[in-house]
Amino acid sequence: MPWQDKGIDVIAYDQAGRVVLLAEAKSRVGTSAEWAARFRRNMLAHGTLPNAQFFLIATPERMYFWKQDRPGAGDEAPEFTIDAATEFKPYFDKLEKTPQGVSEQALEVLVLSWLRRSRVRAMRDRKKILPCDGWRNRG
What is the per-residue pLDDT across 4-56, written as a single tens digit (0 to 9) for each?
446 789 888 888 888 888 999 999 999 999 999 999 998 888 877 777 888 99
pLDDT of residue 137: 37
pLDDT grade for 81, boundaries at 50, 70 and 90:
very high
pLDDT of residue 43: 86
Using alpha carbons only, give the angle 38, 39, 45 rounded to the nearest 5 degrees. 85
In this prediction the pTM is 0.81
**Of the candidates 124, 116, 114, which has an alpha carbon nearest to the alpha carbon of residue 13?**
116
pLDDT of residue 70: 64
